[in-house]
């Protein structure tokens, strides 16, 4: 019998654990000796929440967080939840054009970021986008480009002109009475908006997916139950928190069960192996490429991983051989979870108690209180067992909608309340689902969702390009790579390097086409539509002729 849905709020759940198990460890960073108990973390959250209130953040305001897995990423998530602000997660790979779009589209009130990531200087990017920061007094920011923006917060100790920093906000909060915070937090409801995550669709323009406390905490609870979580479990988190994989399947599974998160700030296979060994972690998550990197690390045999019992391998097609190696060599009976951001994210999952074959070859059964159907894309009728159709679901996990975009929301949620995934799948006679393809032309590269239309729109800014089509090219390492087929305007020329140079620094590195093909004509249907599947075949043939290994 299914348990009833829970009316959790994120802040309320943290406070419950801070009272019932105050000294139990919530978050550990083994590489820097940083450890927070539930009580200590809750106190830090309260202080940051009061600091945010002090700079004018109110219920419903959008707070952007642009950072890798630093400790205060989670502090911001919980602090905004306690005051009813909406956290907007920003992909660490984003460049200026993408951040500008999100800040404008999401009506960002307060933007929070670290100093940078890899080759990206976030501070300089923000100064370029908001030059008023250099001249206007803090607390009085007015930006011509971002009319809703009132604050920029630097996540760290350093001082940046025109910005607050987290150390200041926490100090302000520590010297502020808690009565106002308690009053505001008491008014937060489980169905209130908690966060927005940006995802693209067929239009090529990213859309803000609105998720509530109810959405993600019930999903986290269900995923934790699939893996038989207890408060004694320790989860090694090396997947990005800005994805649902990190902030729901990881954080929400942990917080609903009172368990512990062991954090790796940025994925590094050696740090993952060493942290599992040192902290005796019992669960490990990752996309297939992460597990492959860990298995193939030259120091793999130095670490004792017998403490592991389960985890999640998701985010891309999971090779059966990789899953078998993880089970055998890492002692980890991983499960699969299927879904998308719009479904908070899980709609189906395997269970740790199920057979190796089921966990390796299916994406499991529906989650409790989630109705999953395979529907005919043409008729919207349910497909018989074994017949391919579109994966659709309805239940508590369906997003509240796309921010300021009711038309796009209506396109994916039908009149019966089913959300249409755009993915093709089949259900067997025992209720297990397999994913067989995609209606959407989305590319999944190492767990990152890449939307061809977005890249096509960007490349069409090159004046010498007449047309461009982007498809996924098979990759043994990442599952897929980005391939761009370009038709040049008559009498013009470009090289592959010219195209890549145009992309660098403007779009995320993982979106830059690895393969670029210059063609004279596109394959067309009788009705004049470009046949993308033929382009993929062309790309494979051309690379094989050139001796490039792609399968």
Distance CA 290, CA 478 (A): 10
285 closest CA partner among 317, 249, 247? 249
Q: Which residues of the chain have pLDDT under 70?
A: 1, 200-204, 316-317, 440, 525-529, 550-551
* 484 beta partners: 470, 516
Beta carbons within 10 angstroms of residue 9's beta carbon: 22
CB 260 within 8 A of CB 283: no
334 belongs to a structural domain: no
323 belongs to a structural domain: no
Distance CA 2, CA 21 (A): 27
Query: Which pLDDT score, from 0 to 100, does residue 29 have?
Result: 98
Question: Coil, strand or helix: which one is 466?
Answer: strand
Write the DSSP symbol of residue 247.
Answer: I
- For residue 119, the domain's CATH number is 3.40.50.980
Write the DSSP symbol of residue 137.
Answer: P
311 belongs to a structural domain: no
Copy the structure tokens of residue 87.
């956290």
Copy the structure tokens of residue 129.
């986008």
- For residue 476, the domain's CATH number is 3.30.300.30
Query: Which pLDDT score, from 0 to 100, does residue 200 have?
Result: 62
Copy the structure tokens of residue 73.
């990423």
H or E, element range at 15: helix 10-20
Copy the structure tokens of residue 133.
């920061």
Distance CA 99, CA 117 (A): 14
Question: Coil, strand or helix: which one is 285?
Answer: strand
Query: Which pLDDT score, from 0 to 100, does residue 40 have?
Result: 98
238 belongs to a structural domain: no
Count of domains forming the chain: 2
Q: What are the contacts of 19-27 at 24+ separation with CB within 8 A? A: 20/258, 21/231, 21/258, 24/231, 24/258, 24/260, 25/260, 26/254, 26/260, 26/261, 27/71, 27/74, 27/260, 27/261, 27/263
CB 221 within 8 A of CB 37: no
Q: Domain range for residue 133?
A: 8-188
| pTM, 2 dp | 0.85
84 belongs to a structural domain: yes
H or E, element range at 151: strand 151-154
Phi, psi of 496 (to 5 degrees): -55, -40
Give the rounded distance of the alpha carbon of 545 from its chain centre.
36
Query: Which pLDDT score, from 0 to 100, does residue 204 have?
Result: 57
Where among 153, 188, 223 does a domain terminate?
A: 188
pLDDT digits (tens, 9 = 90+) for 250-265: 999 999 999 999 999 9
141 belongs to a structural domain: yes
Half-sphere exposure of 173 (CA within 13 A, CB side): 22
Where among 167, 188, 209 does a domain terminate?
A: 188
156 belongs to a structural domain: yes
Where among 188, 223, 257 does a domain terminate?
A: 188
495 belongs to a structural domain: yes
């Amino acid at each position: 019998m299914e348990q009833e849905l829970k009316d959790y709020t994120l802040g309320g759940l943290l406070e419950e654990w801070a009272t019932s198990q105050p000294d139990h460890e919530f978050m550990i960073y083994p590489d820097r000796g940083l450890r927070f108990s539930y009580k200590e973390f809750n106190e830090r959250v309260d202080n940051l929440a009061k600091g945010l209130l002090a700079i004018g953040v109110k219920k419903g305001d959008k707070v952007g967080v642009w950072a890798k897995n630093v400790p205060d990423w989670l502090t911001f998530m919980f602090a905004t939840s306690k005051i009813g602000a909406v956290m907007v997660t920003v992909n660490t790979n984003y460049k200026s054009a993408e951040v500008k779009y999100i800040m404008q589209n999401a009506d960002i009130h307060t933007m929070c970021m670290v100093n940078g990531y890899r080759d990206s200087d976030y501070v300089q990017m923000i100064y370029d986008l908001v030059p008023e920061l250099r001249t206007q007094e803090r607390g009085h920011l007015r930006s011509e480009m971002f009319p809703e923006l009132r604050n920029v917060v630097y996540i760290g100790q350093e001082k940046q002109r025109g910005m607050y920093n987290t150390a200041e906000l926490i100090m302000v909060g520590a010297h502020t009475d808690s009565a106002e915070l308690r009053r505001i937090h008491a008014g937060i409801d489980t169905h209130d908006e908690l966060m927005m995550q940006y995802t693209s669709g067929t239009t090529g323009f990213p859309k803000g997916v609105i998720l509530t406390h109810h959405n993600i905490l019930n999903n986290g609870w269900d995923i934790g139950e699939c893996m038989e979580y207890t408060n004694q479990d320790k989860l090694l988190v090396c997947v990005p928190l800005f994805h649902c994989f990190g902030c729901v399947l990881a954080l929400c599974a942990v917080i609903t069960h009172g368990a512990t998160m062991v954090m790796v700030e940025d994925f590094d296979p050696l740090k993952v192996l060493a942290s599992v060994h040192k902290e005796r972690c019992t669960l490990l998550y990752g996309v297939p490429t992460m597990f492959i990197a860990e298995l193939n690390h030259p120091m793999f045999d130095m670490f004792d991983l017998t403490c592991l019992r389960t985890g999640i391998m998701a985010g891309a097609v999971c090779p059966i051989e990789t899953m078998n190696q993880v089970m055998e060599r890492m002692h980890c009976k991983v499960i699969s979870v299927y879904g998308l951001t719009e479904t908070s994210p899980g709609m189906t999952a395997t269970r740790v108690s199920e057979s190796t074959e089921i966990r390796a070859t299916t994406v499991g059964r529906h989650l409790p209180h989630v109705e999953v159907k395979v529907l005919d894309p043409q008729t919207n009728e349910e497909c018989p067992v074994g017949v391919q159709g579109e994966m659709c679901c309805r239940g508590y996990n369906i997003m509240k909608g796309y921010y300021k975009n009711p038309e796009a929301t209506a396109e994916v949620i039908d009149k019966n309340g089913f959300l249409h995934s755009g993915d093709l799948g089949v259900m067997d006679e025992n209720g297990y689902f397999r994913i067989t393809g995609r209606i959407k032309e989305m590319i999944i590269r190492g767990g990152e969702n890449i939307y061809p239309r977005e890249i096509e729109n960007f490349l069409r800014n090159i004046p010498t390009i007449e047309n461009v089509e982007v498809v996924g090219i098979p990759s043994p390492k990442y599952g897929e790579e980005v391939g761009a087929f370009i038709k040049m305007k008559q009498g013009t020329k470009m090289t592959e390097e010219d195209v890549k140079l145009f992309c660098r620094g403007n779009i995320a590195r993982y979106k830059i086409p690895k393969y670029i093909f210059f063609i004279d004509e596109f394959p067309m249907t009788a009705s004049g539509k470009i046949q993308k599947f033929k382009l993929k075949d062309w790309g494979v043939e051309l690379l094989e002729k050139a001796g490039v290994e792609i399968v």
